[in-house]
Structure 1
Amino acid sequence: MSSQPPSSTGDETAPEHPPVDGAPSSTTSGSSSGGDGTTAGSGREAETARRLQRLDAMRAEGVEPYPYRFDRTHSLVDVRAGWGHLSPGDETEDEVSVAGRVMLKRDTGKLVFATVRDRTGDLQLFVSKAVIGDDAFADVKGLDLGDWVGAHGTVMVTRTGELSVRPDRVELLSKALRPLPDKWHGLSDVDTRFRQRYADLIVNEAARRNFEIRHETISSFRRTLAAHGFVEVETPVLHPEVGGAHARPFTTHHNALDMDLSLRIAVELYLKRLIVGGMERVYEIARTFRNEGIDTRHNPEFTMMELYQAFADWTDVMDITEELVTTAARDALGTTVVTVGGTEVDLAEDWPRVRMIDAASEATGVELHPSMPIERAREVAADHGVRVEPFWGPGKIVEELFEATAEASIVRPTFVTGHPVEISPLARVDRDDPHLTERFELFVGGRELANGYSELNDPVEQRARFEEEQAAKEAGDLEAGTVDEDYLRALEYGMPPTGGLGIGIDRLVMLLAGVENIREVILFPTLRPEA
């Protein structure tokens, strides 16, 4: 679908295209479609059948509806950046080749105004019959919303101030057989939005923004960590031993080696092996897998950033946590102010620190500590409706009480510190309290965003912690770990004092994007099978 332009410039005095965000006229090509992706009036199936007929007709005419390539000279934002200074009515001889999906089209007889979109934005094509010729103009009139086109022409501005490209050639790059969801209502069914993310991204500006924020957040992390001398690494996804977190793994079998393996639930133990090896500052942005439930905060596969810094402790990694998050906010949003539960919060302000046992004690009205008798801990749990497993000790019960009574009240960024040893098998014991550890979790808006600690580097104590984990697993705790002999062997070579940190990328992006469901920030979240 292309033509060489005739010599005449033609009549260009017809009414101009309305603003991009206006409603389409009755002459817009293609049926408008309902919020569920069906076509109003004739139905999606009928509309797809019509487009298939058009496809067959094009091929019968010798037109290839899916060409191999198109040589684009400018993105649409490049055109806006280069010629955005022009005034209404200005015309240039500057030639550009642009490409995009047809999102809106209006036919006035001798002119067609088409809004096209690429990943950088929208731009209008000002298509004149006199410029491109009768046959090519008929092809443009036959375009459907959703078609991809390439256009070569000159840059101009309409009388109403709409920056445009006036093509002398328009090429169909991909024929869309399925109509777009309705431009104003989008996909009305939330499950359909997540399942058909490709359609969601086409029509939903908010969805596109969420993933731009995600990209900028991860890019910001990489820049900040590089400035601090951290090296990005990649560690195995398939683990022979599950470790680094409390979670149920996904398991699989390697046929050639005839061995069971698990998808990683964390990358901690492999990164600390690299600290033993002398790499000193390492991090990984890792896809991680946990065989757990799905809700607004959890997806079975998610993204973690974990870092480990030799010669540091938990105070150092608390500092870098603040820097990473506030810098990512500036880079992704242009501000450190975010809205949390209807409250504006400035991430650049100092983040308070509160011990878990203090927060839980204040919330319950009972002095709580991991050294308390187990019977008393169970009584307090029962008083607050907290279910207790028989193999839990007081430390685990304290954590459950904190989660049930205090966690949701945390709005602004807060480091919750001093976790019980029982629930922190890889953290060093607190220098002042042998029942607690030098560990913290970062909470914002009632959500945990990060976890870090002074790393346990004593191989004898680590073995004892692993054996306690193994005993808990054998007693029925499916999320408990096992004894990782290879990791213990690595520690026996000597690991220097080390601080470690893990940040949940998905939850951080939720905070920055201002969304409440983790599926809004994962391109293809895990969903139930379609009915």
Structure 2
Amino acid sequence: MSEERTFREIRLEKLQRMRELGHDPYQNERFEISRSAQQMLDRFDSLVGESVKMAGRVVSYRLMGKAGFAHISDGDAKIQVYFRKDDLTETEWELYRLLDIGDHVGIHGELFRTKSEEKSIHARSLAVLSKALEVLPIGKEKDGQIYSGLSDTELRYRHRHLDLIANPDARRMLLNRSRIVTAVRHYFDQAGYLEVETPLLQLEAGGAAARPFLTHYNAYDIDVKLRISLELYLKRIICGDVPRVYEIGRVFRNEGVSNRHNPEFTLLEFYESYANLEDMMVRVEELFKHVAIEVFGSPWVKFKLTEGEIVDEGESGEPEFLEIDFSKPWRRVSLLGEIERHTGLTAEDLGSLENAKSALSDKNVVNPVTGKRINPDDEHNLGGLIEKLLEVFVEPTLQEPTFVIGYPIETSPLAKKDPNNPKMTRRFEGYIRGREVCNAFSEINDPIDQRERFEQQLGEREKGDDEAHPMDEEFIYALECGMPPTGGCGIGIDRMAMMLTGADHLREVLLFPTMRPEKKDVDEAPSVETES
């Protein structure tokens, strides 16, 4: 029998003893709290001697004869509690002796300082509110430094409750993400946008190039898809003369998992009548500045660059810090111009798929930092090839906030054509630290053009592109009823949280990221550090 199972058996015996004492921890339904731990610590000198009630988890425990100590954490802060046999009933003292790290307790007592001047509660009564049957990876604190009891990344992501218990950084990340979403709402509410909700289950999942998840609607006996975007329904609302709308919602894309992709993620999309691409750039700049100041108190955000990140003109070196001032305007560059700068391929070279393939072969284009090159034969249209050049050669260099403007028509079926170059569209993507953070258009409002674009996409689907955009007759009908000139933008909330918190992996800002199912015996518990 494993050591962890032995600890569990000991805890089960303690639980049984508590029940024999007439105190079942799981029968308690509530406990009245007068102050949080942080409130007591912040105002301690003015509260000394006051009777208080608090509840929380036991995170340290010391029994010394007829007295003892414990630190109780309510999630936001912890405070020491002093227990003395003479101050408790016989049953309560026995309950104290049966405590384990991880149990939840309720305390009633007075605030005082110990001989070592530590802020504490002198317990006058004790209630056990739940019994932890598993050993928890609660970290240790030494010389003001907190040492986590849980460092296994796989375990942290798979059992996030343990991560939240053990790692203060995980709790801060959760808090900051929540505050970021709140700040986003504040910005759009103050700007006169209306927040709406649109369907998750859709007959045609459009608005992005992605494979949807499929399910079946029993009531109507029809196959439906989980949405991959918020776009088409929001633009139908614009067609209903609601001039400014936004939505923050979950979307689902049946694709790979990486440090910047998760099949289920949170997306922000916003649309504004009588606005264009340039207006959307201003909105994005204002939004990031607003959120940074509201959540972190400053437009400056500091990132620790990971080894291999391109930091200046194609050079890479040892990890260093990058500071970004979100109060400054973002760089604005053209997609074709950046490709030429980093590959030598000119607009003429990229004038057709045949020219592009020939130029790539002749010039032997390779990324000097990563050593990556692309195989032009893998791409079946010019737009796909151009975006592959962006991914391999341009994206890694975009450390400072940058708008890349002008995307191919083949990969932008919902964006207006560029009147100066009909092969390109009025579309931009925003990048920070080499990662895409937003995607925006001057939206098509010509129903004839939109139908033709969808038909072209159907042709790509027939050639085997299962991410090509479907035909959506309901959306076309809405356009035929009239949609004003409109600017629209999508921002991944998860990536936004990554950028503003300095996280290196998307899973750090997701409470429950998608994980491959764990292979283990049904009764096997997660392996964590044992008690000492």
The answer to whether the superposition gives a TM-score over 0.5 is yes
Quote the offset at 1:524 in angstroms.
0.7
Match of 2:120 among 164, 173, 177: 164
Match of 1:180? Answer: 136
Instruction: Give CA deviations for 1:97-152 in whole Å, capped at 9, x if unaligned.
Output: 11111111223334322111123222222223332244423321321000011111
Rounded to whole Å, the distance in 1 between the matches of 2:419 and 2:113 is: 69
Q: Distance in 1 between matches of 2:66 and 2:467?
A: 69
* Residue among 337, 340, 345 paired with 1:361: 340
Counterpart residue type for residue 136 of structure 2: L
Partners of 1:229 and 1:308 in 2: how far apart?
A: 12
Match of 1:63 in 2: 23
SS at 1:406's partner residue?
helix
Alpha-carbon distance in 2 for matches of 1:470, 1:224: 38
Q: Which amino acid aligns with 2:37?
A: L
Alignment match, 1:31: none
Q: Distance in 2 between matches of 1:388 and 1:259?
A: 40
What amino acid sits opposite 1:460 in the alignment?
A: I
TM-score between the two structures when normalised by the length of structure 1: 0.88
Asked if structure 1 preserves the Cα contact closer than 8 Å seen for 2:59 and 2:138, the reply is no
The residue that corresponds to 1:223 in the other structure is 186
Match of 1:515 in 2: 503
Who is 1:95 aligned against?
Answer: 51
- 2:293 and 2:299 in contact (8 A); partners too: yes
CA distance in 2: counterparts of 1:381 and 1:471, whole angstroms: 26
Match of 2:391, SS state, is: helix
Cross-structure match for 1:47? 7
Cα distance between partner residues in 1 of 2:18 and 2:390: 66
Deviation, structure 1 residue 397: 1.2
- The whole-number CA distance in structure 2 between the counterparts of 1:430 and 1:126 is 72
1:160: how far off? 3.3
Paired AA for residue 255 in structure 2: E
Q: Which residue of 2 aligns with 1:430?
A: 418
Distance 1:370 1:147, change over 3 A: farther
Counterpart AA for 1:438: R
Q: What are the residue-to-residue correspondences of 1:401-420 with 2, within 5 Å?
A: 401-420=389-408
The residue number in structure 2 matching 1:462 is 450
Residues 248 and 266 in structure 2, CA contact (< 8 A), matched pair in contact too = yes
Amino acid at match of 1:528: R
Which sections of structure 1, spanning at least 5 residues, go unmatched?
Answer: 1-40
Tell me: CA distance 1:157–1:334, structure 2 relative to 1, closer, same or farther (3 Å). Answer: farther
Q: Which residue of 1 aligns with 2:33?
A: 72
The corresponding residue for 2:460 is: 472
Could you give the per-residue CA deviations for residues 223-244 of structure 1, whole angstroms, max 9, x where no partner exists? 1111001111110001100210
Residue number in structure 2 paired with 1:444: 432
Partner of 1:247: 210
Q: Identify the match of residue 350 of structure 1 among 310, 318, 329.
A: 329
- Distance in 1 of aligned mates of 2:155 and 2:440: 37
Structure 2 match to 1:8: none
Q: Is the 8 A contact 1:357 1:369 kept in 2?
A: no
SS in 2 for 1:304: strand
Q: State how far apart, in whole Å, the 2-side matches of 1:404 and 1:381 are.
A: 13
1:454-496 Cα offsets, whole Å, 9 max, x none, are: 1111101000111111111111111111110000001111111
User: 2:270 aligned to 301, 307, 313, which one?
Assistant: 307
Deviates more, 1:250-259 or 1:296-305: 250-259
Q: Among residues 104, 108, 111, which one is paired with 2:64 in the alignment?
A: 108
Query: In 1, Cα distance between the equivalents of 2:326 and 2:24?
Result: 53
Say if 1:45 and 1:374 are closer, same or farther in 2 by CA, change over 3 A: same
- Aligned CA distance change for structure 1 residues 186 and 98 (closer, same or farther; 3 Å): same
Query: Cα offset for 1:369?
Result: 5.9
Conservation of the 8 A alpha-carbon contact between 1:370 and 1:420: no
Opposite residue 270 of structure 2, the aligned amino acid is L
Give 1:324-339 correspondences, 5 Å limit: 324-339=287-302
Whether the aligned pair in 1 keeps the contact of 2:21 and 2:91 (CA below 8 Å) is no
How far residue 425 of structure 1 moved from its aligned partner, in angstroms, is 0.8
1:369–1:395 CA contact under 8 A, matched in 2: no
Residues of 2 paired with 1:223 and 1:259: CA distance?
39
1:138 partner letter = E
Larger deviation: 160-169 or 464-473? Answer: 160-169
Residues 308 and 369 of structure 1: CA distance in aligned 2, closer, same or farther (over 3 Å): farther
Cα distance in 2, alignment partners of residues 376 and 272 from structure 1 = 37
SS at match of 2:285: helix
**Contact preservation (8 Å) 1:148, 1:174:** yes
1:287 corresponds, among 250, 254, 273, to 250
Return 388-397 or 421-430, whichever deviates more: 388-397
How many positions carry a matched residue from both structures?
A: 486
Amino acid at match of 1:271: L
- Find the aligned partners of 1:228 and 1:458 in 2 and give their Cα distance: 27
Deviations 1:278-320 (A, max 9, x none): 2211111111100001111111101111111111111111111
- Cα distance in 2 for residues equivalent to 1:130 and 1:319: 68
Q: 1:338 to 1:275 in 2, by over 3 A?
A: same
Change (3 A) 1:267 1:488: same
Residue equivalent to 2:523: none
Give the C-alpha shift of residue 269 in structure 1: 0.2
Partner of 2:358: 379
SS in 2 for 1:44: helix
| Structure 2 counterpart of 1:36 | none
Identity of aligned residues (%): 41
Task: Provide, for residues 372-396 of structure 1, a one-character-per-residue CA deviation record: whole Å limited to 9, x for no partner.
Answer: 1221212344534313467632222
Q: Scaled by the length of structure 2, what TM-score is found? A: 0.88
| CA distance in structure 1 between the partners assigned to 2:191 and 2:29 by the alignment | 44
**How many angstroms apart in 1 are the aligned matches of 2:107 and 2:78?**
14
Which residue among 397, 404, 417 is the counterpart of 2:385? 397
CA distance in 2, matches of 1:432, 1:135: 84
Q: Are residues 252 and 387 of structure 1, via their aligned partners in 2, closer, same or farther at CA, if it must alter by over 3 Å?
A: farther
Distance 1:396 1:381 in 2: 14
Indicate the larger mover: 167-176 or 428-437.
428-437
Find the aligned partners of 1:487 and 1:457 in 2 and give their Cα distance.
Answer: 11
User: Does the 8 A contact of 1:288 with 1:303 survive in 2?
Assistant: yes
